[in-house]
Amino acid sequence: IKEPLRFSANSQDAIISSEALSEKSLSKQFQNVSMKVPDALASENDISKKFGDQTVLIDIKCHDAIQESIPTVSFEYTNDFIIRSDYFDKHIDSEETEVKVNIEDITKESVDRKQFCLFLRTCRYALDPKRIGLKKSDVLCFVTLLRDLGCYSTSNILNKLYEHLLPLLLSQKYLISSDFADDIGDNAILNFNKLFLPFINTVFDSIDICFDATKEELVFLKVNTPNKSDLLDFSYLKEIKFRIHADVYSVLHHDGSRPKILTIFWLLWLYTIKGIIVSADNTYFTETKDSDNACELLLKKGIHSDIRRQTDGLFNVFATNQIYLDLKSIELDNIVLSEIDVSYLKKFINLESLILVRCVLPLSSTLLGEIPVYFSKCKELRIICFSLSNIFFQSITNSLIEVLDLSCCEYIDFGEDLDLNGSLNNLKSLKLDYSKLNHQIVTFFLKNRCLRSLSIRNVDFEGYINARNFTGFQKSFDFLDISGCQFSKSYLKFFSTNLFVNTFIMQNSKYFDDVKKILSCKSLHMYVETLDLSGNKITSTMLTQIRKFYGMSNLILSDSSIDFFGNPKDVFLFEDSLKKLNISRSRSGNKFLSILSRFNNLEEFIAPECNFDAGFLVYIKSVDVLKKSLRKIDVARSKVEIMDFFVLSEFENLEDLCITLVSNVFVRYFDNNQLPLCENLKSLTFSFTIVDAFILKLIMLHLNLVNLNFYNCEIKTGSFPRDLRRMLIQLHRIGLIDTNISTVDMENLKYFRRNGIAIYFNQ
C-alpha cells in the first residue's frame, strides 16, 4: 500500500493514492502555473498561478549550491495556498502587488532554488515533501523555512505535515544533537526549540499537548479538549513543568508508549523538566482561589476508585535520562499511590517542593515520616487532608522547610506523648486552614521567629486544651488570616493583644464580640495596610473601630452588609492613605457613594454586582479628587445609562475599566458620540455583555489598549477581525473567561497569537 502523496485537509478531502509521481507527471500537474527561474529545469517551473482576488508577486533570490550565480524564484502568493505564511500575508495585507526579497532576509539557512521550489509545492498543494523529493539531509532546512516564514493552516494540515516530517527528523537526530552540542549558546538553544516544538503534538494520536504560558507548563490532555491553547511557543524558556491530565496518563503508561515518550524527551532535551503535576479529576487544590470552597469540597469528596489502575508506576516514565535528578517539584491531587509509585518518588532526591493532596498511600508506607530523609532539600511541603501522627511532626523538626501547608489535616495521636525537640528555624509561611491539631503542635510552629505568614481559617480553638502559655509566640506578621475561627478565651486574648500585622484578614466571622475585641487592638490600628472584613455585617460599632486604622491603604468589604456610614463629621484616619476600596457584591446601593468623597487619593474602586442606580458614575465624577485620582473602576453588572458613558472620559487618569454594557443603551450613546470611553485606557473588561459590531467599533477606538478581557459574554460572529490587530498595536493580551466564540473568530484569535497577542481562556 503506497503512502498518499497528498494528506487531506478539512477543505480538501481528495487524496492522490497513485504511485509516486514521476518527473514528467509532476510537470504535467503544474502545467498551468508560471514561475520565473533562470536556467530552471522544466519540472521546477510552474509553481503557482493567480488564485482568488488577493495576490502578490514575490521574487526571492535563493542560494545555489552548484553555480556561483544566484537564481531568482518568482511566484504569485494567493489566498489559495493551503499552508500559508504570515511573512507573505503581511504583503497581501499591505496591498503590495510585487515584492522583491533576498532569501537571507527571511532565513539564515542556505536555501537553494530546488529546496525553495519543493517548499512552495508543499505549501500550495499540501503535498508530502518526502514523496516529491525531500532528502533527509535537507529536512532541517525545510523545517527552518516553516518556522522563519511563520507557516500556519486553518485546518490540521500543518500538523499532518509535521507528522510526515518527523521520521526524517528522527533519522537525523544524532547528527542534529551533535551539531547543537558544538554551539550550545542561548541563541542556538532558542533556534533549536523553535524548530522542533511543533513536532511535539505529532507523537501521540490520542493526546494533545499544549502550553500554558501563565504557568509555564506543558499540558498533556485528551484530544479535542475544548478551549485549549494550540500554541506551543515556549522556546524562550529554559525550564518547564509537565501537567498530566488523569485521563491521558494510562496512554503514557502503556507499554508501547516508551519510544514515543523518549521522542518527546529528545524534542525537549534542551529544557529542564522542573516539575510534574497530576490530578485524578483535573482539579487542583492549590489553584482554587476560594480557600473555604476548596477545603469544604475536599473534605466531602471521596477518592476515585479507578485511579489505582491509571497510576501504578506513576513515575517510572520519568526515571530515564537523569530527568528525575532535575525535578524540583511534584504535585499529586487525589491519587492512589502504589508501592512502586512511592519507590520511584523517593528517587527525586533534589525535590524542593512536594505537594500531596488527599492521596492514598500503601498501608505499609512510611513516606510521611521520612520526608526530610529522602527530600533533604525540600523547602515547600504541602500535605493536604491527611491523618497525621506523632511520627510526621517529629520527622520535620530541624528540617529546611520554609513553606508548610497542613490544611484539612487531623492529628490522630491524641492521648500519646508528643516530643517535639528542635524547631523549624527556616519556617516563613504556615497554613493550617480547616485543620484539627492541638495546642502543643501550634506552639511548636508559632515559636519560630522567621514566621511571617499565618493562615488558620476555620480552625476551632475551643477544643485546644491546656492552651494557657503563649510565651515566645510570634506576634509580628506580614500576612495573618483568622477568618471563621472559633476562639477560646486564651486564643482570643492572644489574637487581640499587641499584634503587628501588615495584611489582616478576618472574613465571615462567627461571633461579633470576637470581631469587636480584635479590631480594637491598637497595634493593628498602627500597622495594618490591608484590612479584609469580607462577609461580615458592618455595624456602627465595627465602623468606629475601622475608622482608627490610620495607615490603611487597602480596604476590602466584599459580600458585606454595609448599613451604617457614620456621621458626616466623623473622621476616618485613613482618608489620605486609602488607595484601594473593594465593596464587591455588597448591596448598599447609591447611599454608599457618599462616603467616597472622604478619600483624597483613592486609585481603585472595585464594586461589581452592587445595586447602584443609573447615573452613579455622574456622582463619582462630581467628586473632584476622584476625577483625578481614580485609575481603576470595576462596576460590572451595575445599571449604566447614557449619562454615565459621557462622564467616563472626564476621569483624567483612568487606565483600567470593567463594565457591563446593555446594547440598546450603548447604541443610543454611540450614535451621537463615537469617541473612546477614556483616552488613557490600557485595560478594558466587558462583563455579561453582548459583543457585536458596535462594541467592536468601541474597542477599536481605544488605541492604547494593552489588555482586553471578556467575562461571561456572548460574542457575535465576526467580532475579532484582523483589523483589530492593526488598529490596536499596543494590544498584548485577550482573555476569554466563561466566554465562547465561533470557529471563524477562533481562527482570527490564532492569527493574533501568531502576531504576538497572548490569548487566555478561563484564567
Higher pLDDT, 562 or 328: 328
pTM, 2 dp: 0.88
- How many CB atoms are located within 10 Å of the residue 709 CB? 19
CA–CA separation, 349 vs 330, rounded Å?
Answer: 12
Q: Above 80 in pLDDT, residue 524?
A: yes
| Mean of per-residue pLDDT scores for the chain | 85
Q: Above 70 in pLDDT, residue 396?
A: yes
Which residues lie below 8 Å from residue 345, measured CB to CB, with a gap of 6+?
314, 315, 330, 337, 367
Q: Where are the domains of the chain?
A: 1-161, 172-291+302-362, 655-763
pLDDT at 430: 99
Give the torsion through C-alpha atoms of 125, 129, 132, 134, to 10 deg: 150
Across the range 529-544, mean pLDDT stands at 94
CA–CA separation, 678 vs 478, rounded Å?
Answer: 37
Please report which confidence band the pLDDT of residue 585 belongs to, taking 50, 70 and 90 as the band edges.
very high
pLDDT at 309: 44
pLDDT at 416: 77
From 641, 669, 536, 651, select the one nearest 603 (Cα to Cα).
651
pLDDT at 581: 97
Give the torsion through C-alpha atoms of 76, 79, 83, 89, to 10 deg: 80
Higher pLDDT, 1 or 739: 739
CA–CA separation, 701 vs 674, rounded Å?
Answer: 8
Please report which confidence band the pLDDT of residue 473 belongs to, taking 50, 70 and 90 as the band edges.
very high
Most confident of 145-149, 324-328, 590-594: 145-149
Task: Determine if residue 324 is left, alpha or beta; phi over 0 gives left, psi from -120 to 50 gives alpha, anything else beta.
Answer: alpha
Please report which confidence band the pLDDT of residue 36 belongs to, taking 50, 70 and 90 as the band edges.
very low
Q: How far is CA 362 from CA 329, 332, 339, 730, in A?
A: 22, 15, 6, 54
pLDDT, tens digit, 9 for 90 and up, residues 116-146? 999 999 999 999 999 999 999 999 999 999 9
Q: Above 80 in pLDDT, residue 67?
A: no
DSSP three-state, residue 231: coil
| CB contact at 8 A, 161 and 126 | yes
| CB contact at 8 A, 356 and 384 | yes
pLDDT at 46: 36
Across the range 191-209, mean pLDDT stands at 87
CA–CA separation, 623 vs 616, rounded Å?
Answer: 12
Higher pLDDT, 377 or 569: 377
Q: Above 90 in pLDDT, residue 61?
A: no
DSSP three-state, residue 26: helix
pLDDT, tens digit, 9 for 90 and up, residues 663-708? 888 888 888 888 999 999 999 999 999 999 989 999 999 999 999 9
pLDDT at 38: 30
Across the range 7-21, mean pLDDT stands at 32
In this structure, which amino acid lies at residue 385? C
**Least confident among 35-39, 505-509, 601-605:** 35-39
Across the range 541-560, mean pLDDT stands at 95
CA–CA separation, 311 vs 673, rounded Å?
Answer: 61
Q: Above 60 in pLDDT, residue 172?
A: yes
Q: Above 80 in pLDDT, residue 41?
A: no
Higher pLDDT, 376 or 747: 376
pLDDT, tens digit, 9 for 90 and up, residues 292-312? 999 999 998 765 545 544 556
Q: Above 50 in pLDDT, residue 351?
A: yes
Across the range 405-422, mean pLDDT stands at 89
**Least confident among 189-198, 258-267, 502-511, 671-680:** 189-198
- How many CB atoms are located within 10 Å of the residue 438 CB? 16
pLDDT at 62: 85
Q: Above 50 in pLDDT, residue 6?
A: no
pLDDT at 302: 61
Please report which confidence band the pLDDT of residue 226 belongs to, taking 50, 70 and 90 as the band edges.
low
